[in-house]
Amino acid sequence: MGILEKISEIEKEIARTQKNKATEYHLGLLKAKLAKYRAQLLEPSKSASSKGEGFDVMKSGDARVALIGFPSVGKSTFLSLMTSTASEAASYEFTTLTCIPGVIEYKGANIQLLDLPGIIEGAAQGRGRGRQVIAVARTADVVVMMLDATKGDVQRSLLEKELESVGIRLNKHKPNIYFKPKKGGGISFNSTVTLTQCSEKLVQLILHEYKIFNAEVLFREDCSPDDFIDVIVGNRVYMPCLYVYNKIDQISMEEVDRLARKPNSVVISCGMKLNLDYLLEMLWEYLALTCIYTKKRGQRPDFTDAIILRKGASVEHVGTSTKYSPQRVGLTHTMEHEDVIQIVKK
């Protein structure tokens, strides 16, 4: 049996197994197996066909945003609207066949926006150009999942499943579990909170499935078996995702309202240029970038030349070791958006 068949067998078994106390170990085990096979599937194949086919687009600017979506949802139309790059848009599916980069200039930052071919169900297993598209998505700082507002919610959950299956975790933080494989001593298990989804026994079972018999495990959060498997497997990416419903010019106001209220979602129309400013604001928030401006003694700040930092960065990250005035701050001082700093030499 090939890996794909094994995966589908396990998926079927999970689907037909009722979720309850009596089946939790069985399900945990199945999930561990599933994660293992998927990892095997993702290992780069050594065959000639996979060579040189990736979309090697240079990272540039301060951040990278990948446009992921089914064919013809309007990804290329969006890129052409927001950047000075033109990407061919047409009413037929799979118009775009490679990765096309553009740049959004916003608040002094250069945000690289990547238009990509449409992906479909089965993308993770290599349907269409799915694998290459997903490989690019992994390198992004934020994923914009573009959806056709007229098409219902199926596309969204299908794409979420595709990304999920290759270890991309959307709008989730890394599970707060300390995990350290050891040379000996068996498995030591502890938790600082009450666990409602995992137990010591289940944790052991899962570890054994991965042939790990000595390890230190500390749950600092009420995590699920899937979260724990993610920690063991490693190699997961935790990424903010903005769901963008395009083509709202085609649906009723009630429907627009419903979609706009969904979490992490923005509604737009590329065709009628609706709500694009708001989308940019949201994108900025998701990128969590901070602009600071420098000023020289006795001169006005230069607002045309910002230094872009990740949110939470401190003065040290600006790359200096001097002191500041008029409000003196230490090197660990966290910079806030649109702060102005003056560097004073002693």
249 binds, among K ion, ligand GTP, Mg ion, none (CB under 5 to 8 A by kind): ligand GTP
73 binds, among ligand GTP, Mg ion, K ion, none (CB under 5 to 8 A by kind): ligand GTP
Residue 52 Ramachandran class (φ > 0 left, ψ -120 to 50 alpha, else beta):
left
Integer Cα distance of 323 and 344 in angstroms = 6
Question: Considering only 93-101, 178-186, 273-281, 321-329, which stretch makes contact with K ion by CB under 5 A?
Answer: 93-101
Which x/- pattern over 217-246 shows residues binding ligand GTP (rule: CB under 6 A)?
Answer: -----------------------------x
Residue 77 interacting with ligand GTP (CB under 6 A): yes
191 binds, among ligand GTP, Mg ion, K ion, none (CB under 5 to 8 A by kind): none
246 binds, among Mg ion, ligand GTP, K ion, none (CB under 5 to 8 A by kind): ligand GTP
Judge contact between 221 and 250, C-beta under 8 A.
no
* Footprint on residues 13-72 left by K ion (CB under 5 A): 72
Residue 308 interacting with ligand GTP (CB under 6 A): no
Minimum distance from CB of 123 to K ion (Å)?
A: 16
- Among residues 73, 113, 114, 166, the one that binds ligand GTP under rule CB under 6 A: 73
Judge contact between 188 and 11, C-beta under 8 A.
no
74 binds, among Mg ion, K ion, ligand GTP, none (CB under 5 to 8 A by kind): ligand GTP
Residue 77 interacting with K ion (CB under 5 A): no
Q: What phi and psi, each to the nearest 5 degrees, are found at residue 151? A: -100, 5
Which residue from 167, 296, 308, 135 is spatially nearest to 233, judged by alpha carbons? 167
Residue 278 interacting with ligand GTP (CB under 6 A): no
Residue 247 interacting with ligand GTP (CB under 6 A): yes
- Among residues 27, 36, 68, 72, the one that binds ligand GTP under rule CB under 6 A: 72
Residue 89 interacting with ligand GTP (CB under 6 A): yes
Residue 96 interacting with Mg ion (CB under 5 A): yes
- Checking DSSP bridges between strand 237-239 and strand 187-191, what pairing results, if any? unpaired
Nearest CB to Mg ion, comparing residues 75 and 169? 75
In degrees to the nearest 10, what's the CA dihedral of 231, 233, 234, 236?
-100
Integer Cα distance of 278 and 220 in angstroms = 37
Integer Cα distance of 234 and 190 in angstroms = 20
Residue 199 interacting with K ion (CB under 5 A): no
Minimum distance from CB of 86 to K ion (Å)?
A: 14
Residue 132 interacting with ligand GTP (CB under 6 A): no
Please report, as ranges, the residues that interact with ligand GTP according to CB under 6 A. Answer: 69, 71-77, 89-91, 93-96, 117-118, 246-247, 249-250, 269-271
Please report, as ranges, the residues that interact with K ion according to CB under 5 A. Answer: 72, 90, 95
Please report, as ranges, the residues that interact with Mg ion according to CB under 5 A. Answer: 75-76, 95-96
